[in-house]
Structure formats: C-alpha cells, structure tokens
Amino acid sequence: MADPTLRELQKAIEAAFLERDRRRGLGGTFLWFVEEVGELARALKKGDPENLREEFGDVLAWLTTLASLSGVDLAAAAGPYLAGCPTCGRTPCACPMRGEIPT
C-alpha cells in the first residue's frame, strides 16, 4: 500500500499483531518498543539508509501497537500538529528549543 494514512496503518497493525500484543500486555510491549528505539539510535549513528528505513518502520509499528493498546487513535493524536506547532501555532515552530545543548 503506497502512502497509507495513520488510521490505515493502525488498523493494519491491529489486524496483524493486536491479539498477541494484548497477551503480552502494555508493559511488555513498551519494553519491546524501547528496544526498537535503541536499535534506531544505533542505526542513526551508522547512517545506513536501508537499516534506517527498517528501524524507523519497527519503531513506528511498536508505537502504533502501544497506541492501540492504550485506546489512542494515532490520527487523532497527530491532528494538532497538522496546523504547525501545537504550542505556538507557528510553522516553523518559534518556541524556544528544549534540551538545546549550549555552545
């Protein structure tokens, strides 16, 4: 499927994995998500495009499962970002950077 919507992705992930993930539970599923984020961190460091695509996909799939287990519609959760920054309302964001490393 080319360019699925978030809602389509969430439905597809639910169809494939939700029952298994329910048995694992929210805590266990979250641990898998964190592991995938760690793999993404390593892929970002290496910079290999194929590995990056794979790890971004894995993180997105596990995030989607966590949303489903928590009763969150990802499309609705992403909605506030479509109009720009949900805090300042601007595009690009004009908020002060959080966690910026002083130079």
Any domain includes 98: no
**CATH code of the domain in which 42 resides:** 1.10.287.1080
pLDDT tens digits for range 37-93: 999 999 999 999 999 999 999 999 999 999 999 999 999 999 999 999 999 999 999
- Total number of domains constituting the chain: 1
Range of the domain at 31: 6-81
User: In the block, which residue shows the tokens 């309302």?
Assistant: 89
Any domain includes 59: yes
Q: Are 21 and 29 in contact, with CB atoms under 8 Å apart?
A: yes
Work out whether the CA dihedral 51, 56, 57, 58 comes out positive or negative: positive
